[in-house]
Amino acid sequence: MTLYALMRTAMLIREIAGGEISSSIVDICPSVPVRARVHFSWAHLDRLAGKVLDREVVTGIFSDLGIGWQAQADGSGDLLLSIPTAKVDVTREADVIEEVLRIYGYNNIETPQAWNASISHPAKPDPEKVRNIISDYLVSNGFFEVMNNSLTRSTYYTGSEDFPESKLVKMLNPISRDLDVMRMTLLPGMLETINYNQNRRNPDLKLFEFGRVSSLSDNDGEPVNGYHQERHLALALTGRLRPENWNTDDSMSDPYALKGFIEAVFSRVSVPLSRLTPEPCRSSTLNGAVRYKINGETLMETGSVSRGILKDFDCRQPVFYAEINWDILLALLPAGITPYREVPRFPEVRRDLALVVDRGVTFAEMEEAARQTERKILKSVGLFDVYEGDKIEAGKKSYALSFILLDESKTLTDKEIDKAMDRIRQAMATRFGARLR
């Protein structure tokens, strides 16, 4: 239409304004547009359309669209098409077929009587399904999911012993100074979210986040040489555990509440926390930090965020935090369906012991010793009281432990129960110097 518009404009200028035509039209286009050449196969058209289209109808559509065509010289019956320069988006055979079907009408393609489908085989357990199970559980218990930027500021890691600056993955061309490195932990983003909510008078929070963390790696076996990336799950508690109400208490977040949620998360994926080995560890970011390991790998770290870190993020109340290595946790999940076990027909028996031990002895160590001593009928070990005071000597503390005993094949006799408890008591005395209180 360009030439027609130019000639019409020149004619109007001459008739109305008295202008004169000084020359013919001069085309100063730097290069002559070349019509695209596309190889067209009738077999491909029939396959993508799902129907054998009439060849004359298709060639008629080509003519209506201004598409030139000629038979291929190889005698295959396929066509070589010449595409008008106005159709800049038609450069492939698939584009031509789309043009044909658009004109022919998609509603004119009949639905076939037979349907073909492919069956996918997802990984077992399905990572997305497991993530949804955990997310549903946390949300149903008052948690909110947060999604923070994978880019963060490098100053968060200045002087950090847990996350050395030498391991930071730095951006070559950062958007800003606040987004110049990849995060090594989910903690900074979580604290930024807590600060944002506290500044808007929303101090009582239960938060969780699924995200990736990145660091430099010395392992040449990494998929991307020199870099390491993991998926993590972070949990954070701060403020009240429950909304303020006349019929609820004023319970505040604490490490025990966080541990309860962690145990429930692990239970939901059939990985009991008793399988892990807890180790108190030194941390520059967490007070009372505990590292949980399995098979020599760190699965989780938990504790309360140190006051210095809270001050840096202007968080005005304690924050209890746990970060789980999601990749390691997924590797621990059972591959098959969790088997069903019927309710035992025989009653379980509970026995309690109050043992005085050194202050440095932990409940986890005593539980492990009890399970190693009585593997057959000991089902669980609980802690229902801890005492330190003037009733016992200095440097000691008293643990009140409960032991659940059960034989699924018969009813336990008093003699069998007493023997089992004697073995447990002797093991505690031998290993920890424990004595009955």
Over range 355-359, report the average pLDDT: 91
Output 341 or 81, whichever has higher pLDDT.
81
Return the closest-CA partner of residue 38 out of 86, 79, 75: 79
Same domain assignment for residues 196 and 89: no
Same domain assignment for residues 58 and 199: no
Same domain assignment for residues 162 and 300: yes
Adjacent-strand bridge partners of 216? 227
- Residue 46 in this model has a pLDDT that exceeds 60: yes
Return the closest-CA partner of residue 238 out of 182, 188, 195, 175: 195
Same domain assignment for residues 82 and 203: no
The domain tally of the chain equals 3
Phi, psi of 100 (to 5 degrees): -60, -50
Over range 155-163, report the average pLDDT: 89
Same domain assignment for residues 239 and 131: yes
Q: Chain-wide mean pLDDT for the chain?
A: 89
Q: What is the DSSP letter of 178?
A: G
Token pair listed for 222: 């990494």
Query: One-letter amino acid identity for 44?
Result: H
Output 340 or 325, whichever has higher pLDDT.
325
Residue 172's pLDDT is 87
Q: How far apart are CA 370 and CA 278, in angstroms?
A: 16
pLDDT digits (tens, 9 = 90+) for 333-345: 876 666 777 888 9
Which of 297, 332, 367 is the last residue in one of the domains? 332
In a domain? residue 55 = yes
Residue 219's pLDDT is 58
Output 134 or 336, whichever has higher pLDDT.
134
Residue 29's pLDDT is 79
Domain span at residue 399 reads: 349-436
Rg (CA), the chain: 36
Q: How far apart are CA 199 and CA 206, in angstroms?
A: 16
In a domain? residue 43 = yes
Return the closest-CA partner of residue 276 out of 297, 303, 251: 297
Residue-wise burial string across 341-366, b where 16 or more C-beta atoms lie within 10 A, e elsewhere: eeeeeeeebeeebebbbeeebeebeb
Same domain assignment for residues 131 and 102: no
Whether the CB-CB separation of 213 and 183 falls below 8 Å is answered with yes
Over range 328-333, report the average pLDDT: 89
Same domain assignment for residues 68 and 140: no
pLDDT band at 34 (very low <50, low <70, confident <90, very high): confident
Residue 6's pLDDT is 92
Phi, psi of 128 (to 5 degrees): -70, -40
In a domain? residue 134 = yes
Q: How far apart are CA 407 and CA 413, in angstroms?
A: 10
Return the closest-CA partner of residue 138 out of 196, 205, 199: 205
Residue 177's pLDDT is 87
Return the closest-CA partner of residue 321 out of 273, 283, 361, 266: 283
Output 81 or 245, whichever has higher pLDDT.
81
pLDDT digits (tens, 9 = 90+) for 82-104: 999 889 899 999 999 999 999 99
In a domain? residue 343 = no
In a domain? residue 309 = yes
pLDDT band at 50 (very low <50, low <70, confident <90, very high): confident
Residue 374 makes CB contacts below 8 A (sequence gap 6+) with: 405, 420, 423, 424
Edge-to-edge order in the sheet of strand 378-387: 378-387, 396-405, 349-358, 435-436
Return the closest-CA partner of residue 327 out of 299, 292, 296: 299
Residue 14's pLDDT is 93
Token pair listed for 153: 């500021």
3-state secondary structure of 30: coil
CATH label of the domain that carries residue 362: 3.30.70.380
CATH label of the domain that carries residue 72: 3.30.56.10
Task: Report pTM.
Answer: 0.66
In a domain? residue 115 = no
Token pair listed for 97: 């077929």
Same domain assignment for residues 186 and 328: yes
Q: In terms of DSSP bridges, do strands 205-216 and 227-238 run parallel, antiparallel, or are they unpaired?
A: antiparallel
3-state secondary structure of 213: strand
Over range 46-51, report the average pLDDT: 89
Percent of the chain past pLDDT 70, that is, above it, reads 97
Q: How far apart are CA 21 and CA 34, in angstroms?
A: 31
Over range 380-385, report the average pLDDT: 91
Same domain assignment for residues 201 and 74: no
Over range 267-274, report the average pLDDT: 83
Same domain assignment for residues 361 and 390: yes
Whether the CB-CB separation of 49 and 106 falls below 8 Å is answered with no
CATH label of the domain that carries residue 247: 3.30.930.10
Token pair listed for 343: 């309710």
3-state secondary structure of 45: helix
